[in-house]
A and B are shown apart, each in its own frame.
Chain A
């Protein structure tokens, strides 16, 4: 249920939307405004019913929606949309500057930024206080190679680093899209080896070669819903309990944890799920005395064995 304020905001955009187009379809308009045709007709009726009683009674807005087409013959003072508010102007400008930062959108981005800053006026001021930066993984030319493959619709061969296993894997991928989220740039593509949609972090691509084969992404391939977060636990994951000293508290910021409990004196117990025991083994070696694998016991033993073997190199 929309509030009366949200509905008013919508009406004040709906009227100019129709006025600017002279005549526009009900279905198209409902889709643009994200509502059903029934709701749209309710809105149009509401606008049409507005009556001012004084000094002389009159109806300022006249419209019709016959044969599935809306026309507004008289809209008086609300024929133009309301100015952008500070939140609206900022949301758009920050998004556009973010696009400029990643190079998405090309030369239209700076032109559009200038136009919107001009139209927003003072409302644009706050947006300069929000900025976005990513690390560009361009140094190795991998981004350029993969972008070219994506635009040409070609398959790529990747050498891809898997840090959890400290392993370089070889695979052929049909690119679907490139996106940047949570500080990293990813290729989403159909991995021929896994026969599924996979995400590849570009800073972990050791090498990329465009193949002379057309990319063929199965129609059933679905994009990953990245906005729900990149981390997706699975039933096959192992559950690891880790005790962390104050110097290792950063671990709970970097790894998604199922639960975190304060143990006092800044110590934490973290429970995390991972498909890859190797990742935890390496993490535990890195943490030294600041971290301790509590369970599973087999993993704890594996960590100790690896530390002993490493120390033996120095004897």
Chain B
């Protein structure tokens, strides 16, 4: 059954590509094997076939078969169908292989494999330059563990608004959002979607792993306008920007401990009044966040200055005992 269907679809492609004019459904039926005699089943089958061809990306056009005829016809022009000439240098071919591996088992892996086959089909001598593969540097890998990635990517591609529930950190309940998505960004290993939040009437960024439940399409294709000059990368960067470390703290750190703290230290000298300890000067941004980090070092670190940071660490440690 499936084999006959493939054969029928292939025949339609070959027929329409070979023809210079629009062919009517009747003409296609006469040339292609496998359509039923009766009118209704034929129409249904032909509709499904057209849909399947378009889903594959085959540019099936509709137009009037002739100027004397009101019947609709179909054609595929070579110009729209064929992959343009593309010839790859050996090092480019090798890079293509590296690019293919980036998606691995992630969401767009199948699409990457399809693209690779088409490019291999397009050029004869696609020989890998092995020196490129050997000197390959850092291989990036994209993963898409967030279930929201697939539907959000499709919404971005087709420019359709979406609705979803989003769980903000530190809040107990999820909120419902209606978003006109502009783009998806992977930053520091996490996927984000950026766009126009209709309820807030402002640009917003959402982390995909905080989207709970299904992502639903909320409008027809093409109904999202991405404003001119939008840079989704910058939006996400702003959202996630680290505050400037413009404050200074003096810490006591026990010798041979606090390695993580010492890496960013501006100065470290043995503490004169505390044998076995070092006096370390560091920069920090926010006393809340930094106090929590310092508390994680337990009895290996003491804050000497400033006072607010010292108090914040004491409060955090008392919280452990509360």
Contact = CB atoms under 8 A, between A and B. Distances in A.
Given A4-B9, A265-B172, A95 B100 contact: yes
B138 A108 contact: no
Interface stretch (B61-69, B278-286, B294-302): B294-302
Q: Which of A180, A265, A304 has the most CB of B within 10 A?
A: A180
B260 A161 contact: yes
30 contacts: A3-B2, A4-B9, A9-B56, A77-B17, A80-B122, A81-B82, A81-B121, A91-B115, A94-B142, A95-B142, A102-B139, A103-B137, A104-B98, A108-B94, A112-B92, A121-B84, A130-B185, A133-B188, A134-B188, A134-B189, A168-B259, A178-B138, A179-B138, A181-B143, A183-B188, A183-B189, A185-B138, A249-B169, A286-B293, A307-B298
A227 B105 CA distance: 7
Contact of B118 (A61, A82, A184, A307): A82
Interface in A171-207: 177-185, 206
Interface string A274-315: 000000011111111110000000000001101111111110
Contacts of A51: 11, 33
Residues of A in contact with B, size category: 35 or more
Q: Which of B27, B100, B119, B300 has the most CB of A within 10 A?
A: B119
A307 B91 CA distance: 58
A88 B112 contact: yes
Contacts of B298: 281-282, 285, 306-307, 309-310
The A interface, classified by DSSP as helix, strand, loop or mixed, is: helix
The B interface, classified by DSSP as helix, strand, loop or mixed, is: helix
Interface stretch (A16-24, A62-70, A213-221, A235-243): A16-24
Interface string B224-251: 0010000011000100000000000000
B140 A119 contact: no
Contacts of A145: none
Interface stretch (B38-46, B196-204, B265-273, B311-319): B311-319
Given A16-B121, A99-B140, A90 B98 contact: no
Interface of B: 2-3, 5-7, 9-11, 13-15, 17-18, 27, 30-33, 52, 55-59, 78, 80-84, 86, 88-89, 91-92, 94-96, 98-100, 102-106, 108-109, 111-124, 132, 134-143, 145, 153, 156-157, 169-173, 182-190, 209-210, 226, 232-233, 237, 252, 257-260, 263, 292-293, 295-302, 310, 314-322
